[in-house]
Structure formats: C-alpha cells, structure tokens
Structure 1
Amino acid sequence: MKNRISSIGGGDLKLVIEKELFDTDVADNNQWFSIPMKQVKKDFLSEKYQTELKLRNGHNQKHLVGILVKVLDPSLKEYTLRLKKWTMGGSIVYNLVSGWREIAKANKLKTGDTLQLWSF
C-alpha cells in the first residue's frame, strides 16, 4: 500500500478514522461514507484543502461541490470521490460521495465490518 501511495505522489500517512460500518454506510439508497468529526483521530486536511473545501461548500448546503480526492481500496484500485463537509444534527461530518457505493460493492462491505480510512 505504501509503495502504491508513493507511486501516485502521496506521503504523510495519517489514520483518519477506524469505524464500524453502519447500515447508512452500506445501504443501496445511501451514497456516502460518513466520517463524524468527533471520531476523527487526526486532522487530515492541509490548510489549503480546508480552505478549498470551505469555499466550495459555501453557505448553501443544497449545492455543495466538495473537493475531488483519490481513494485506494484494499486491492489498490484507485477511485476518485468527492469529499464534502456537512452539518448533520448540529455536528460536523465529512462524507465521501460520488463513487462510495462502487467501493462498498466491489469490496463486499457490510454492516458491522470495521473500516480504516487513511489520508495521504
């Protein structure tokens, strides 16, 4: 995995979250993987990306653009998803969208599985 990350110009590995998957993370009608800020182990966005995410999200959450991010699954297949920052029930939640279902299906993820998300 580290070799693959290096080959695409990545470095500075950080464990973002280790999370047991919920129904909402794997349900066919939900197209996102949620990353609640309360569970984030380390700040994973550089100041540049925090600013870009804030600008692209704006104040109207109905039209959030988010930022494009590369995601590697355990088989080292690369996907491009969008990272968005939502406010849900008064809490801040990051979400990986626009391709998450494809990753979940390809890796046969199910409720109760534990998933680690790393940033680089």
Structure 2
Amino acid sequence: MAQDQNRFTIPANQIREEFLSNEEKTNLSVYASKGRKMAMKVKIIEPLLGEGTVELRRWDLKKDSGRSSSSYVLNKTWGEIRENNKLKIGDVMQLWPVRVDEELLFVLVKLD
C-alpha cells in the first residue's frame, strides 16, 4: 500500500485456480522492451463499485538461491484505486477473475 509502490501483487503460489487463457499466458511471457514483459489491459470493479482499467503483468524474480518466483501485478492506475477506495496497510483483499463474453475482468473485494 506504500504510495511509491504503484502495484497490487498477486504471488503465483497464492492463486487458487488458473484464470488466464493459454494465449493470455503466452502474451504475458513475451518481453516488450527494456526487460519488461508485455502488459494486458483489464477492466476492474473496485470495492466501492467504481470501474477502471489496470495493467496486468507477469513478473519473474530470480532469488539468490538460483530459484525463481513468479507474480502477477496490477499497476498503472493502482494508486488511484488505492486512494479512491481508502485502502490501507493491513486490509485483506480478494481479487476475483470473471469472464464476460470471453473478456477477462477483475472484481476487487475488501474483506472486513
């Protein structure tokens, strides 16, 4: 939730069910430029029911042990979403993927 970290991180090991199509997974694995992977624009319904768009990216991080871990991140407009919905450190969030006419969208839920 830090203001200088404009992202919502989704560790791959916390994903319960696959939410991306094979084509989407492949696209997010391709490098666009400067070592950054391609992004995918996804609509999001916010906790206070506002609607917006985020960029979904895949991050693969190498560890000192030689292993790597993967995460998906939502960024670009995450700071606005955080502010508009008064999200703070310690909030427990759920992110639900939904398909409408094959288009992926997210529903972000703040748990009490």
TM-score (norm 1): 0.70
Structure 1 segments of 4+ aligned residues over 6 angstroms from their partners: none
Which residue of 2 is the match for residue 87 of structure 1?
60
TM-score, with normalisation over the residues of structure 2?
0.75
Contact 1:61–1:86 (CA under 8 A) maintained in structure 2: no
Matches within 5 A, 1:55-74: 55=30, 58=31, 62-74=35-47
The structure where helix makes up a greater share of residues is 1
The answer to which structure, 1 or 2, has the higher relative contact order (CA under 8 A, 6+ apart) is 1
Flag the structure with higher strand content. Answer: 2
Q: Any gaps of 5 or more consecutive residues in structure 2?
A: 99-112
**Number of equivalenced pairs:** 93
Cα root mean square deviation, aligned:
1.7
Question: What's the % identity of the aligned pairs?
Answer: 35
Q: How far apart, in 2, do the equivalents of 1:46 and 1:115 lie?
A: 23
Segments of structure 1 that go 5 or more residues without pairing to the other structure are 1-25
Q: 1:41 to 1:61 in 2, by over 3 A?
A: farther
Is the Cα–Cα contact under 8 Å of residues 53 and 66 in structure 1 kept in the other structure? yes
TM alignment of 1:2-41, pairs within 5 A: 26-41=1-16
